[in-house]
Homo-oligomer: A and B are copies of this chain.
């Protein structure tokens, strides 16, 4: 197979040994792989791969077709169109994945769009539903709403009948966010003026958390899953105490195989039907050939995109 290898910070498309599916795994022939902030961190040596995944091949999600199965996996998986959450190694022509980390790609959804589904929707669902217990009628603020996780969160918030306040750096994606289900859209400068919210999905970090904190209602939950603007924030604990707030941080990547299977299983159960109905979308900002990955990584780092950047690995 070929894989995108990080070699001292340089991205190189080179041959690697073909993966062999272990017990309970499948091998996917990758059509496309979504790009995530973690890939950029990994390229800079700041986000080491967990044990059991290749240390130098990035990629936390993919879509493609199953080409072989390991012991204990039903052979009828072969040939099926799947998307998968991976611990790394997705930016390659082939990737071994535990079968319980697969999502069936609905008919009519292109693999290039499906490749941007797993990480964004699993991250947003785990944070909002499993950790944040967001419920109907509550107000949700999503900072960095124009990114992949942000667009997923807006749609999940809408699906839960929450009122969704989408925050972006500037106003240019507000119409698109309203089309995804945002009830209110604000720019960073307007954050201090929003009506109080119950839940915050923090996808930006230091640039937004201090401003949004005073807008969180009593019993509010702040779910931190992205810190692209910086991770060091000053927190006033008296304010946190007075409003009885909970701040939870998390990542998906470091979780165990079983934990990831639980996340994927909840997404399949709660969001699968909506994905099949066409009610959930993955806005794709740009599709870049994996052989030009450096350009995609640079584009990811620039502000202003809407939705996911996806690497095309194989002809579709």
Contact = CB atoms under 8 A, between A and B. Distances in A.
Contacts of A234: 232-235
A237 B231 contact: yes
A119 to B, nearest CB: 15
Given A231-B236, A234-B234, A237-B205, A245 B244 contact: no
28 contacts: A202-B237, A209-B237, A218-B254, A224-B237, A224-B240, A224-B241, A227-B237, A227-B238, A232-B235, A232-B237, A233-B234, A233-B235, A233-B237, A234-B234, A234-B235, A235-B235, A239-B249, A241-B250, A241-B251, A242-B249, A242-B251, A242-B254, A243-B249, A244-B248, A245-B248, A245-B249, A246-B247, A247-B247
Given A205-B237, A235-B235, 6 more contacts: A227-B237, A227-B241, A244-B248, A245-B248, A246-B246, A246-B247
A145 to B, nearest CB: 18
- Measured as residues with beta carbon below 8 angstroms from the partner, the interface class of chain A is 20 to 34
A246 to B, nearest CB: 4
A239 B205 CA distance: 12
A225 interface: yes
Copies per complex of this chain: 2
A168 to B, nearest CB: 20
The 7 closest A-B pairs by CB, nearest first: A240-B249, A241-B249, A231-B238, A231-B237, A246-B248, A244-B250, A247-B247
